[in-house]
């Protein structure tokens, strides 16, 4: 009787579970049995592994073969177990030393010719292996750079099964020809799922090679300042106004204002994008804040996550540590919009399905854009809006009160007048200048919040703002009056304090003054309070 084991990783959402792949050979009629709660694609690995082993020059054992995936209670899906199954079988057949593979984690799909094809989710799988104490992993050559992002683990990238057999047996490693005929590498097809990357731009929102600049925006002093405050503190933002006023144009320029991701944030974002299949080949680490802009016909499952079997990341997870832009927000279904309430507060989403429960990261900056009515002309003087008042109320009510209460900044975007639009020398500040102020403000916030679990002002709980991080004496008088009049809720007061701290950080002040509270109240309620909004005035 022959026995061997290797290791692989099963992904549950963006978290991994190390799976022990055990192979057992017994005398009897030649058969191949795979147990351990595999899905359809994993059951098909029996034929892929047999053909790959034979075409790699090894002999397939003509005995009763049983392959078990332990723990058996964890659902396993995907083709990433092929490499571990093949090595366990060869170890049981004594083609390779069973001790050489016992503590090696192997991830990869096998082609019928023995080539090792890349699979999605390599980074979270290697992270799970490192957390479990494993020090060696074998991955496809194309994803070796992604696996090498995990510190303290040895990564071996292989191109074929015959290469891996030669390495494990200390034999000469054969050369594998590379297809260099100028066409796209077919081996990378498994990394990118067609259609999943649309609107989840790792590139700029306008496409490759074009970086939108804030200097292109004519006028719009108040919305520009709200955009800067949102980027500096991570505050959610609502732009409302008629069509053509520049709401989408402003939102597309927010990603360039945000600071680059830290190392930990980059690993979190890369893990989600690797599982979702939108990580571009050749770019193993995402360093820019992602920008996700789903269409208003998106379902609740596509926003928060779901799908058949184990839930997959939705738009809120693809926008983790970045921007989720909902253009034409009232056109989204009420069910989909209300599903955003929990991730807006907690920074993660828990999706429960019959196949299991998955916890996905979802700490994003939400930007909403809305028209005042179905025709968009309700707020314009003399524009001829024919929408009845009941239709206008019903349209605006699609953004529910509890959802809007979680939005820190609500700004009315007025139409651009002719003078601002046609003026040649009146361009506003470029993105680089605004981004520099945002980085300085975030550095001040990070220094103040050092030693706490929070990094931006939008994450600080209200209790801390009212007990430890206090504003200047008498600065909250206006906010307290609004709270007594019912213009602010208790959550709204906490969010005003968070915005005021961000405004103070942009000014370089040690704590919020009365004018900072006035700016925060004006940006939240829309009521004019005479606060300075000019460029650089903060």
Please determine, for residue 264, whether its predicted confidence score (pLDDT) is greater than 60: yes
Mean pLDDT of 126-140: 95
Please determine, for residue 197, whether its predicted confidence score (pLDDT) is greater than 70: no
CA distance 335 to 324: 17
314-318: list long-range contacts, CB under 8 Å, 24+ apart: 314/349, 314/360, 315/200, 316/340, 316/343, 316/349, 316/360, 316/362, 316/364, 317/14, 317/272, 317/276, 317/349, 317/360, 317/361, 317/362, 318/200, 318/272, 318/273, 318/276, 318/278, 318/290, 318/292
Q: What one-character-per-residue DSSP string does 281-301 give?
A: TT--S--S--EE---TT--HH
pLDDT in tens, 323-333: 999 999 999 99
Q: What is the model's pLDDT at position 259? A: 93
pLDDT in tens, 405-464: 889 999 988 888 777 777 655 567 889 999 999 999 999 999 999 988 888 999 998 888
Whole-angstrom CA distances from 60 to 92, 93, 95, 111 are: 11, 8, 10, 16
Higher pLDDT, 530 or 160: 160
Q: What is the model's pLDDT at position 186? A: 61
Q: What is the model's pLDDT at position 207? A: 46
Residue 412, strand partner residues: 240
Average the pLDDT over each of 201-205, 213-217, 423-427, 481-485 and give the range with the smallest value: 201-205
Mean pLDDT of 177-192: 60
Counts for the chain of helices (H) and strands (E), in that order: 23, 16
Q: Using pLDDT thresholds of 50, 70 and 90, give the confidence band for residue 355.
A: low
CA distance 278 to 498: 34
Residue 518, strand partner residues: none
Q: What is the model's pLDDT at position 12? A: 86
Average the pLDDT over each of 68-72, 158-162, 478-482 and give the range with the smallest value: 478-482
Cα 294 to the chain's mean position, in Å? 13
What is the total residue count of the chain?
A: 538
Q: Specify the residue for token string 């009315």.
A: 412
* For the ranges 101-110, 178-187, 367-376, the one whose mean pLDDT is highest: 101-110
Q: What is the model's pLDDT at position 235? A: 94
pLDDT in tens, 9-26: 999 888 899 999 999 999
Please determine, for residue 61, whether its predicted confidence score (pLDDT) is greater than 90: yes
Q: What is the model's pLDDT at position 115? A: 94
Q: What is the model's pLDDT at position 499? A: 93
- At 270, list the tokens: 């890369």
pLDDT in tens, 238-248: 999 888 888 99
Q: What is the model's pLDDT at position 357? A: 82
Q: What is the model's pLDDT at position 261? A: 93
pLDDT in tens, 277-295: 888 767 788 889 999 999 9
Mean pLDDT of the chain: 87
The alpha helices in 140-257, defined as continuous H runs, are 144-147, 161-168, 221-233, 247-252, 254-257
Mean pLDDT of 339-359: 86
Please determine, for residue 335, whether its predicted confidence score (pLDDT) is greater than 50: yes
253 neighbors 215 (Cβ within 8 angstroms): no
């Amino acid at each position: 009787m022959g026995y061997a084991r290797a290791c692989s990783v099963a992904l549950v959402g963006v978290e991994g579970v190390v799976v022990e792949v055990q192979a057992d050979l017994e005398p009897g009629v030649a058969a191949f049995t795979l147990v351990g709660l595999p899905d359809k694609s994993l059951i098909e690995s029996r034929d892929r592994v047999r053909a790959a082993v034979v075409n790699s020059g090894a002999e397939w054992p003509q005995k009763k073969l049983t392959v078990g995936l332990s723990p058996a209670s964890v659902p396993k899906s995907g083709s990433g177990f092929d490499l571990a199954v093949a090595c366990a079988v060869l170890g049981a057949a004594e083609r390779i030393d069973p001790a050489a593979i016992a503590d090696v984690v192997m991830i990869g799909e096998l082609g019928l010719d023995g080539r090792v094809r890349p699979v999605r989710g390599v980074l979270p799988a290697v992270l799970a292996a490192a957390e479990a104490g494993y020090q060696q992993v074998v991955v496809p050559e194309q994803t070796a750079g992604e696996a090498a992002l995990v510190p303290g683990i040895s990564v071996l990238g292989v191109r074929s099964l015959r290469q891996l057999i030669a390495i494990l047996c200390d034999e000469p490693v054969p050369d594998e020809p590379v297809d260099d005929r100028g066409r796209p590498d077919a081996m990378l097809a498994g990394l990118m799922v067609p259609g999943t990357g649309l609107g989840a731009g790792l590139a700029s929102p306008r496409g490759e090679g074009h970086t939108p600049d804030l200097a292109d925006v004519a006028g719009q002093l108040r919305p520009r300042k709200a955009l800067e405050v949102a980027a500096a503190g991570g505050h959610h933002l609502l732009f409302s106004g008629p069509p053509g006023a520049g709401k989408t144009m402003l939102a597309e320029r927010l990603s360039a204002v945000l600071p680059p991701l830290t190392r930990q944030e980059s690993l979190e974002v890369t893990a989600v994008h690797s599982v979702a299949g939108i990580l571009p080949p050749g770019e193993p680490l995402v360093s820019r804040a992602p920008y996700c802009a789903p269409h208003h016909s998106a379902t609740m499952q596509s926003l928060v996550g779901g799908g058949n079997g184990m839930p997959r990341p939705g738009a809120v997870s693809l926008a983790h540590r970045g921007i989720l832009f909902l253009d034409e927000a009232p056109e989204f279904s009420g069910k989909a919009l209300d599903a955003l309430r929990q991730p807006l507060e907690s920074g993660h989403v828990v999706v429960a399905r019959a196949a299991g429960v998955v916890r996905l990261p979802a700490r994003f900056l939400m930007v909403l854009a809305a028209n005042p009515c179905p025709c968009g002309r309700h707020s314009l003087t003399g524009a001829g809006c024919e929408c009845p008042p009941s239709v206008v109320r019903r349209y605006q009510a699609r953004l529910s009160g509890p959802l809007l209460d979680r939005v820190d900044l609500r700004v009315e975007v007025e139409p651009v007048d002719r003078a601002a639009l046609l003026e040649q020398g009146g361009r506003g500040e470029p993105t680089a200048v605004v981004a520099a102020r945002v980085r300085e403000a975030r550095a001040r916030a990070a220094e103040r919040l050092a030693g706490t679990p929070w990094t931006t002002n939008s994450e600080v709980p209200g209790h801390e703002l009212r007990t430890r991080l206090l504003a200047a004496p008498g600065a909250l008088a206006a906010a307290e009056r609004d709270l007594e009049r019912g213009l602010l809720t208790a959550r709204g007061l906490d969010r005003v304090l968070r915005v005021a701290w961000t405004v103070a950080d942009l000014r370089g002040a040690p704590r919020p003054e009365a004018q900072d509270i006035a700016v925060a109240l004006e940006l939240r309620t829309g009521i004019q309070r005479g606060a300075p909004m000019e460029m650089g005035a903060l």
